[in-house]
Amino acid sequence: MPVVVSGYEKLEDEEVVARVRAGETALFEILMRRHNQRLYRAVRSILRAEQDIDDVMQQAYLSAYSHLDQFEGRARFATWLTRIGVNEALGRARKRRANVGNLIADDEGNEVGAIALENPGPSPERTTFAAELRGLLEAAIDTLPLGYREVFMLREVEGLTTSETAASLDLSEEAVKTRLHRARGLIRDRLYEATGASAAHAFQFGSARCDRLVEAVLARISAPSGWSM
């Protein structure tokens, strides 16, 4: 499948959105490739089954594409897209709630996932990581309760600001700060420091996987039944 990204790198997201809405639908690929990493990390903070993650990311992109007319530019496109992905992931998680154990309440009375008693087994993606220490850090992050894990992932791994994280997760900035502080405490300092890994390099969304996701979404968008905006 041809890649249309080349030559369009300098376009702002809002300009790409406008051109897609005007009929240049192939340019939607730019938005996917530009934001795959952030969307993956946001969804990965809620869901840990890789097949679920891929399914939710596809659905998030399809939902974003079909509702581009609702993007008003009051928030950054990346924030708007992340909110869609988070909502899709939470919806998938709710369907599996009976299988993931009891829930606990956080500082605001919201339900968050119980702390995992055991680290999840290595996923196929993790076995490809060259650095074993980076895998240890990911395993530590995975033990965070749902509610704290998304905040830690977006703030510390993806590098979003407090305000961007709050907007992405529909939280107050104070709640983001509180959850981040508690998340850091739950990840033992000595483990985090011992890894020597940079959080910014964890949970990479590899180029081959990126290509597969982009192709799958574009194929569904261009299908005869189509996805209208």
Check which CATH number belongs to the domain holding 162 and give it: 1.10.1740.10
Residue 197's pLDDT is 53
Q: What burial letters (b/e) apply to 146-161, b meaning 16+ CB within 10 Å?
A: bbbbbbbbbbbbbebe
Backbone torsions φ then ψ of 114, nearest 5 degrees: -70, 150
Residue 92 lies in a domain: yes
Count of domains forming the chain: 1
Residue 228 lies in a domain: no
* Each residue's pLDDT tens digit, 185-214: 888 665 655 555 556 677 788 888 899 999
Looking at residue 172, its pLDDT comes to 96
Tell me what percent of the residues of the chain surpass a pLDDT of 90: 50
Residue 215 CA to its chain's centroid (Å)? 19
Confidence of residue 227 (pLDDT cuts 50, 70, 90): low
- Low-confidence winner among 114-118, 174-178, 188-192, 217-221 (lowest mean pLDDT): 114-118
- Full-model pTM: 0.70
For residue 156, is it within any domain?
yes
Q: Is the dihedral of CA 7, 61, 214, 142 positive or negative?
A: positive
- Give pairs for 92-101: CB < 8 Å, separation 24+: 92/46, 92/47, 92/52, 92/55, 92/56, 93/46, 93/47, 93/146
Q: Which domain holds residue 182?
A: 13-221
**Residue of 204, 208, 185, 85 lying closest to 138 (CA atoms):** 204
Indicate whether 198 belongs to any domain: yes
